[in-house]
Amino acid sequence: MWKLIGGVVIGVVLTLGLAYAMMSRLMFTETESPFGLEETVARIQHNIQNTGNGWELSGLRNPARAVQADGGNVLPVMMIEACSTKYSKPILKEDTVRFLSILMPCKVSVYKKNDGKIYIGTMNAGLMGKMFGPLVGDVMSQVAEDQKKFLSFDPSTPAPPMILPTAGGGAQGGGGGGGC
């Protein structure tokens, strides 16, 4: 009897430990880019603008710059921010899920690792959405489909120019309004 109880407890602990260890891999995705940092950023920015569904660039941030200014030595990191009112509107209208505004705008991180390669980090929008009920699940599954388009690269096309932030904080060519 004690062996059975002990086996069940050990099984539960191992299952929880495994789920905890895999959580970050499920919630976020990391993809190696075939391009350099600036070209990857530029291609994602242009893909966002060409995806449709109301997507607009709302910012480009360089969080590594602040660390470097404070004397830290970190590899490059760029955060592309984009938003679509088609997707943000239904969530922002509902009191029960408005707290998810913390996830807006949608962010795509492009960064260099110690192996010298460039990577793209995104939130697993489809999985995240399922955790918050049918309204958010439906919206976020559509966002997930658009995210795939953001990261679809055609190496045969020339690299577009990177879209730099304007003085107002948004990205040039974003269509005004600055996103969500």
CATH code for the domain in which residue 53 is found: 3.30.310.70
- Please report which confidence band the pLDDT of residue 21 belongs to, taking 50, 70 and 90 as the band edges: low
- Residue at 18 is within a domain: no
- Please report which confidence band the pLDDT of residue 104 belongs to, taking 50, 70 and 90 as the band edges: confident
Task: Flag whether pLDDT at 19 surpasses 80.
Answer: no
- Residue at 23 is within a domain: no
Domain containing 132 equals 28-150
- Residue at 9 is within a domain: no
Interval 126-133 mean pLDDT = 85
- Residue at 19 is within a domain: no
pLDDT at 172: 47
- Residue at 58 is within a domain: yes
DSSP class of 171: B
- Residue at 44 is within a domain: yes
Tokens of 112: 């260099």
pLDDT at 174: 42
Task: Flag whether pLDDT at 171 surpasses 80.
Answer: no
Average pLDDT of the chain is 86
Beta strand segments in the chain, E: 28-32, 55-61, 77-84, 106-112, 118-123
- Residue at 135 is within a domain: yes
Number of domains observed in the structure of the chain: 1
What percent of the chain lies above the pLDDT cut of 70? Answer: 83
- Residue at 176 is within a domain: no
Least confident of 6-20, 59-73, 145-159: 6-20
Of 26 and 174, more confident: 26
Query: What are the Cα distances from residue 167, in Å, to 60, 104, 111, 170, 171?
Result: 12, 21, 24, 8, 9
